[in-house]
Structure 1
Amino acid sequence: MKTLKFKTSAMCSGCVATIGKSLNEIAKPEQWFIDVNSKDKVLTIETDKEAAEIIRQIEKAGYKAEQV
């Protein structure tokens, strides 16, 4: 497992819930966290998946993400 970080376009807990539904398809809920209090709304995820797959899942939920 590796730890990846992404800047996201999430704005609130509702956004996190929507993104979470998509992320939960490829990771357990305890493997990821979005810090909505940070300026860049950083997603930290423990995963074996590639960054591109994480970004696809976030975009599937209707949000933007870029790896940091």
Structure 2
Amino acid sequence: MKKAVYKTNINCGNCLSTVTPFLDALKDVSEWSVDLSSKDRLLTVKAENIDSDAVIKAVDQAGFKADKKESLFGKLF
């Protein structure tokens, strides 16, 4: 099982309700969660094979933004 973390702008329970059908529709994702208490509103996705483009597209289709956390570190250093 692989895990990927994304920084999002998902803020609240209503936002979660909006994005849920889009993330649930991703066929390879076995589990996902958003940490609303973190300042980066981290979305954690677990799957056998993670298609980051598909995850980001699903979040975007729900009206939110997501950036893969590892790529953010690359931009900072």
The Cα shift of 1:50 comes to 1.2
Q: What RMSD over aligned residues (CA atoms) do the two structures have, in Å?
A: 1.0
Q: String of CA shifts for 1:6-63, please: whole Å, max 9, x gaps.
A: 00011101101111110000135xx000000110000001022311110000001010
**Structure 1 moving runs of 4+ over 3 Å:** none
Percent identity at matched positions?
30
Partner of 2:6: 6
TM-score (norm: length of structure 1): 0.89
Partner of 1:25: 25
Q: Whose Rg is larger?
A: 2
TM-score (norm: length of structure 2): 0.80
Give structure 1 stretches of 5+ with no counterpart. none
Give structure 2 stretches of 5+ with no counterpart. 70-77
Aligned residues: 66
